[in-house]
Structure 1
Amino acid sequence: MNDFFTKGEKKVLFSLYRRLIQSAGDSIFLKDCQKLKKHLIKAAECNKLQRNNFGMNPVIRDLQTAVIVSEEIGMKGSCLIGIMLHEIVKGGILKIDSVQSEFGDDVASIIKGLVKTNELYAKSPAIESENFRNLLLSFAEDMRVILIMIADRVNIMRQIKDTDNDDDRLKVAYEAAYLYAPLAHKLGLYKLKSELEDLSLKYTQRDTYYLIKEKLNQTKASRDKYIASFIDPINKMVKEAGLQFDIKGRTKSIHSIWQKMQKQKTSFEGIYDLFAIRIILDSDPDPAKEKQECWQVYSIITDMYQPNPKRLRDWLSIPKSNGYESLHITVMGPEGRWVEVQIRTRRMDEIAERGLAAHWRYKGVKGETGLDEWLTSVREALENAESDSMKVMDQFKMDLYEDEVFVFTPKGDLFKLAKGATVLDFAFHIHSKLGCKCIGAKVNGKNAQIKQKLNSGDQVEITISNTQTPKQDWLNIVTTSKARTKIRQALKEMAARQHDFAKETLERKFKNRKLEYDEATMMRLIKRLGFKNVTEFYQSIADGGLDVNGLLDKYVEQQKRDNDPHDEITYRSAEGYNLQAIQEETTSKEDVLVIDQNLKGLDFKLAKCCNPIYGDDVFGFVTVAGGIKIHRIDCPNAGQMHERFGYRIVKARWAGKSQGTQYPITLRVVGHDDIGIVTNITSIISKENGITLRSIGIESNDGLFAGTLTVMLSDTGRLEALIKKLRTIKGVKQVSRN
């Protein structure tokens, strides 16, 4: 036990344990606490629990995660016991049957889900793309497992700020942004979602993160002053209306500001809606009363400030599927600035902060229909073994982030679909058979094609024809994963029927010609004719693209070729030789790609998207053709590559010294248009040894200039020296590398 915890960890251990017990309250019985403690001590003493890649103590890590689950998500009891015991079960120290008899089915169910997802991670703290399907299927078995996994990822992201393990931190950070943040968003955990996104940006784009953070600190005083002037009259009027409330200004997250800068292609100074005002009412929990008071506050604010009708978001009338309820409006505040105002009650605010766990508590039920529907659609998409993992992953992420549209049937039944859903999506959403026979619809009484997109409030009556069958191009019309899965299944069944017909036709022709059918000969012929597989071959016969009589002539020819032993030996030995050569070449590579001027026999190119040069921190990306492209760590496409193709990324580093090779670098220069600015820039470059100016383009507008320079140089040392010198030129405000 003494060896298992460091001195610092022992202090943290007791502090966290007290905090968890206090937070859990009476949701965990004293006898369960004692049994839990006994198992943890036994596990620590037998030294079978493993630290992860960051050296985190598993017991401390689980305690930290349990505190987040209890305090920030609001789940207690079984969840907390499950978190604390799952490592012991995973390590084989405690059997799941013993857990079931000691702590009950609920705890055992949670542990099964956690152990299953942990096995997918194995020793690596980040998942590979091919495990994605299995991971989500594990999540979907018990929705509480999703919440625990999100809390665990938040915990890891908080703890790894000082780690030396940069590679794994980068993987974990990318995964937090593309998998866990959207999961948290869908489940209504907006606070944790923002924290995951901010920390991910901090670890993957450190300079960007701290630049925005510093700018926010610099503008805090003026922002606070503006918020106070905006809030003051609202405060007064809402008090006069006799309502009890809190009102506060909330600065938007660093990640959301960065996203706006990217989307609007502007600097920090160009972003005006850096904050939102939140009004939280202390209303009675009666739904009618809550809505009435929220709309009353809406009326007060819009009488005072001009609203933007296009930016009204009403989640009071129809809440989001994750239980989120709020009224969002954007109004024109003092100085002509748009300000977002969120109006909600105390109950709604807790659901907004803590997500579905709070929603369940208020509803008094264990499940939540909207989430169950969503998880069912996830499961349907993932269980289709024929689907491409990456396509499923992309679609899943789209489903997570998409807003919803609400569509009515002619009878007035309300259905919830992802934004962008078409008539065909709606048909498949109601029933697969209806989707397969759909030829159009009447939308609000008017005829509509199957590809027409639906809007909230549309009333849709599907039109069918018994002669209609699913088409391949339908996959381009639908946007929901459920419809896409059902279409693929229907096409597959149709293809299977066509293949059976083609096979029968072929067998009949063989009998007519009195030919003996040999499977091996036919397989060789199919390969020689250029078909990728037997399915494609039979499809060609069914479509009429392949003449069966001509095929039989080629089959006879193939038989003759196979019976000539000389041809067989020559053909096979060449094929074997090539295969061996390829194997030797691929297996001799090391995991770490060393980029060196003298490196021979390795096909690599420098990526044009980020133009890496000697000295940059880089990584290699294995292309489809088998070559390797070298990218900078901060390449604008790095996130997408890690996210979608993590298994194709290899380590890379520069070796030796820069030996005269020159690389093209593009610099962006911005500043005041002083006299002779271009002369000063070109003069500095011409005086630098080993740097050549290839092109320069500068545009001036209203006393400001912006331009790009392309220079040839050998390494990052020379580049940094040049950038420093350019920044000293009078009038130059900013020099950055593109």
Structure 2
Amino acid sequence: MNTLQTKAEQRLIADYYDDLARTFGQRISDEGKERIQKAFEFANSAHAGVKRKSGEPYIIHPLAVAHIVSSEIGLGATSIISAILHDVVEDTDYTLEDIENLFGEKVSKVVDGLTKLSDEITSTHDSKQATNFRKMLMTLSDDVRVILIKLADRLHNMRTLDSMQPNKQLKIAAETLYIFAPLAHRLGLYTIKTELEDLSLKYTHPETYSQILFRLHSQKERRDYLVEEFIAPIESQLKSENINFNISGRLKSVFSIWNKMQTKGVSFDEVYDLMAIRIVFNPKNNLSEKRQCFDILSIITDIYKPKPDRIRDWITIPKANGYEALHVTVMGPQGKWVEVQIRTQRMDEIAERGFAAHYKYKGDETPESELDRWLEKIREMLQNPESDALEFLDEFKMNLYSSEIIVFTPKGEMVNLPKGSTIIDFAYEIHTDLGNHCIGAKINHKLVPVSHVLQSGDQVEILTSKTQLPDISWLKFIITAKAKGKVKQAFKLDKKRHLEKGREIIEEKLKKHNIKPSSDTLKKLSSYYNLSNKDQLYAQVGMGFLELDELESILKTRRENKLAKFWTLSFGWNKKDKPEEKQFEFPKRKIDKKGTFILKENPEESNYSLAKCCQPIPGEEVLGYINSNNHVIIHKRNCPEANKLMSQQGDRIITAEWTKFKKRSYLSHIKLNGFDRVGILNEVTTIISKQNNINMRTVMFDTHDGIFEGDLYLYIHNVEDLKNLIARLMKIKGIDSVLRIESIEE
């Protein structure tokens, strides 16, 4: 009995352990259960007296993670023990040596992979988040279970995120969306991936999340009726064919609905495929699974007409994470498109629990899979000593989503590549020498350049020349981490030369503006281009990736009645005009990272500026990023750049809120389209001129074959005014859509 815990706490802990034990079943041997019990008693004693932010005893968290590992991923005793012990080394006085002595080398290695880095190990300019993640991935070389347990750990943290401070919630949610959800997807853990995405949205966009949830709930009865109407004839036909099956409706996740609304620019009501119907059947022994899946597809398309371009065969060629299924979209009752997924029970288990768990830890004799090849690519990336942690994280992110195109070698061998891959990506995928000497390719006997983007089904013959060498410009269009790594490796000997060349270019350009290349100035420039330090800045400029074309606009003095600037750099005037150098700086204001940063109408008084990448408007959901000059840059919460900053430099993220803005206006771009008719332009401009607080800068209309497109550039005070205007414009007869365009070229 632990004297540091109350009786109520002891009862709560016992209940959690009993819940965990109920998930074991026949999967865990008696010896395994004894080892798990021993690990629990050890961890409970080690964490005794420690509380989580929620006020619960700390041991509840490791037990909850172990529960996810056991019941939702289906891993064995070693993984469950590692999950129970995953915070012991980091948070208590016990060492990895103690863990190895008590529970063996395997558990010790997994726990080591799950233990975060100490501050001393992290280099000064690398993000601690990124470095921790790289270290965790290094254990992939030995044991993929580290990642699976880490995903379970993250899932429980997301489920209990309510007790964290708002800025921590933002950091953890964005990191989850940027790395952990795609990682779960890559490892085939679809259920976990979906929950991670939904929970991330709940904390990054709480209002939007609640609205979508409410709309889904309010339409439930109508949806249930449509599902019953749709599946009735299919059920009847499958039964008559003596097929042992289960059919169910699966609702699109909140995140995927929101994502479609964002990427397609549509409203909730326009997301047509909210529902998917899933048929899971028990295959007969005397026929192949693939044949039986296509038989069921034939039954469905006899009842409902299929959409020709929406049949997906993931059985002949499974996805990179092992996912197998047949998908078809058909025209259902009441003119609604419905997606139907056809799987065997085996395929369904792989889809729900993940291919990694299925074949690695159940003793299946599986030939080398796409997942194995992916893990091998990650190991190659990890062995490249040249990439820093932030660069590695970006490259790893590019490799997370499943391969989307399939191309063929001249001999007919199949190669999987990410969508958007070029001739160079393909060449390096085959062999390093082929990539290094590539001068072009032939696709279907037609000559194409090295930058040509491949399409699924292309048969590619690489053309080489002994005199050809890797070209630094290739980095502008190649997308696979392997190709990028090989090209960078070829240029690593020139790194010093690039740094020197970049330094000379920057100093020359600053000299033209009479500005000294002080560390403060270089910090501001690095921050402006989202680089970690001056060396990265020099290298990017030296290799020709940064032209510094915006230098003049970055260095201009403050302009009245314009959009707020990121910052104002120190200026030097010509000695004839001014006898001494004068400094323009934002007043330094102490920033409370835990509190909410209030955005006042005068940005210079408040020490903030608006990000150019997403152009936030007063009233929108925003957050702040504290740059190296202690200046706050305001981003929209759904800005991809903000998402990247939160996942890599989350400790610099703060929550932010607007005050009421009355004087300062912000430039916004609205795009209209619809059917042209006499007087429509006049109606649009009349509505704008009648709405208070909005001024027109530019109005451009173009008509073609009875369809018009319009671009409006308006000065507005806040997002409410913009929403009201959009609602009024949508009521004009003939207008089909009104969209706000977020990036503005001034």
Superposed pair shares fold, TM > 0.5: yes
What is the CA distance between 1:494 and its match in structure 2? 6.8
> Residue 308 of structure 2 aligns with which residue?
309
> Residue 340 of structure 2 aligns with which residue?
341
Which structure has the higher relative contact order (CA within 8 Å, separation 6+)? 2
- The Cα offsets for residues 233-269 of structure 1, whole Å up to 9 and x where unpaired, read as 1112222222111111111111111111112212111
> Residue 462 of structure 1 aligns with which residue?
462
- The Cα offsets for residues 114-157 of structure 1, whole Å up to 9 and x where unpaired, read as 225799999xxx96345443343345542111111111111111
- The Cα offsets for residues 55-74 of structure 1, whole Å up to 9 and x where unpaired, read as 55431111111111111111
What is the CA distance between 1:182 and its match in structure 2? 0.2
> Residue 530 of structure 2 aligns with which residue?
none
- The Cα offsets for residues 702-736 of structure 1, whole Å up to 9 and x where unpaired, read as xxxxx9996658xx9xx79x999x999xx99xx99
The answer as to 2:145 corresponding to 1:144 is yes
CA contact (8 A) 1:62 1:83 kept: yes
SS in 2 for 1:318: coil
The answer as to 2:629 corresponding to 1:628 is no
Rounded to whole Å, the distance in 2 between the matches of 1:98 and 1:636 is 43
CA contact (8 A) 1:181 1:194 kept: yes
- The Cα offsets for residues 621-652 of structure 1, whole Å up to 9 and x where unpaired, read as 34588743345667786435423553543566
Larger deviation, residues 227-236 vs 410-419: 410-419
Q: Which amino acid aligns with 1:275?
A: M
- The Cα offsets for residues 604-630 of structure 1, whole Å up to 9 and x where unpaired, read as 3355756565x9886433458874334
Q: Which amino acid aligns with 1:136?
A: L
Closer, same or farther: CA 227–586 of 1 in aligned 2, 3 Å: same
SS in 1 for 2:479: coil
Rounded to whole Å, the distance in 1 between the matches of 2:303 and 2:399 is 38
Rounded to whole Å, the distance in 2 between the matches of 1:242 and 1:267 is 42
> Residue 161 of structure 2 aligns with which residue?
160
Q: Which amino acid aligns with 1:319?
A: P
SS in 2 for 1:312: strand
> Residue 604 of structure 1 aligns with which residue?
608
> Mind listing any 5+ residue stretches in structure 2 that lack a counterpart?
500-521, 523-533, 543-579, 673-682, 707-711, 733-737
> Residue 199 of structure 1 aligns with which residue?
199
What is the CA distance between 1:437 and its match in structure 2? 1.5
1:93-108 equivalent positions in 2, closer than 5 A = 93-108=93-108
Rounded to whole Å, the distance in 1 between the matches of 2:664 and 2:604 is 20
1:534-613 equivalent positions in 2, closer than 5 A = 603-606=607-610, 609=614, 613=618
CA contact (8 A) 1:604 1:628 kept: yes
What is the CA distance between 1:381 and its match in structure 2? 2.6
> Residue 325 of structure 1 aligns with which residue?
324
What is the CA distance between 1:385 and its match in structure 2? 3.6
> Residue 393 of structure 2 aligns with which residue?
393
TM-score by length of 1: 0.73
Rounded to whole Å, the distance in 1 between the matches of 2:165 and 2:233 is 52
Closer, same or farther: CA 665–481 of 1 in aligned 2, 3 Å: closer
CA contact (8 A) 1:43 1:49 kept: no
Closer, same or farther: CA 665–87 of 1 in aligned 2, 3 Å: same
> Residue 378 of structure 2 aligns with which residue?
378
CA contact (8 A) 1:422 1:478 kept: yes
> Residue 440 of structure 1 aligns with which residue?
440
Rounded to whole Å, the distance in 2 between the matches of 1:69 and 1:247 is 27
SS in 1 for 2:63: helix
Q: Which amino acid aligns with 1:332?
A: M
Rounded to whole Å, the distance in 1 between the matches of 2:153 and 2:108 is 19
Rounded to whole Å, the distance in 2 between the matches of 1:585 and 1:207 is 34
- The Cα offsets for residues 455-494 of structure 1, whole Å up to 9 and x where unpaired, read as 3343333222211111111222322110110111112347
Rounded to whole Å, the distance in 2 between the matches of 1:637 and 1:153 is 22
> Residue 289 of structure 1 aligns with which residue?
288
CA contact (8 A) 1:247 1:280 kept: yes
Larger deviation, residues 617-626 vs 439-448: 617-626
Q: Which amino acid aligns with 2:321?
A: N
CA contact (8 A) 1:694 1:712 kept: no
Closer, same or farther: CA 584–360 of 1 in aligned 2, 3 Å: same
- The Cα offsets for residues 197-229 of structure 1, whole Å up to 9 and x where unpaired, read as 111111111111111111111111111111112
- The Cα offsets for residues 93-124 of structure 1, whole Å up to 9 and x where unpaired, read as 544344434433322222221225799999xx
Rounded to whole Å, the distance in 2 between the matches of 1:98 and 1:201 is 40
Rounded to whole Å, the distance in 1 between the matches of 2:367 and 2:99 is 24
SS in 1 for 2:320: coil
Closer, same or farther: CA 230–468 of 1 in aligned 2, 3 Å: same
> Residue 709 of structure 2 aligns with which residue?
none
What is the CA distance between 1:384 and its match in structure 2? 2.8
Closer, same or farther: CA 139–49 of 1 in aligned 2, 3 Å: farther
SS in 1 for 2:400: helix
> Residue 22 of structure 1 aligns with which residue?
22
> Residue 646 of structure 2 aligns with which residue?
642
Structure number having the greater helix percentage? 1
Q: Which amino acid aligns with 1:144?
A: R
Larger Rg: 1
CA contact (8 A) 2:600 2:606 kept: no
User: How many corresponding residue pairs?
Assistant: 637
Rounded to whole Å, the distance in 1 between the matches of 2:498 and 2:165 is 55
CA contact (8 A) 2:265 2:739 kept: no
Rounded to whole Å, the distance in 2 between the matches of 1:120 and 1:308 is 58
The answer as to 2:351 corresponding to 1:352 is yes
Rounded to whole Å, the distance in 2 between the matches of 1:433 and 1:77 is 45
CA contact (8 A) 1:120 1:127 kept: no
Closer, same or farther: CA 191–120 of 1 in aligned 2, 3 Å: farther
CA contact (8 A) 1:428 1:482 kept: yes
Rounded to whole Å, the distance in 2 between the matches of 1:182 and 1:534 is 27
Rounded to whole Å, the distance in 2 between the matches of 1:587 and 1:711 is 28
> Residue 704 of structure 1 aligns with which residue?
none
Closer, same or farther: CA 467–285 of 1 in aligned 2, 3 Å: farther
Larger deviation, residues 265-274 vs 380-389: 380-389
What is the CA distance between 1:30 and its match in structure 2? 4.6
SS in 1 for 2:64: helix
TM-score by length of 2: 0.72
Q: Which amino acid aligns with 2:237?
A: M
Rounded to whole Å, the distance in 1 between the matches of 2:310 and 2:189 is 23
> Residue 413 of structure 2 aligns with which residue?
413
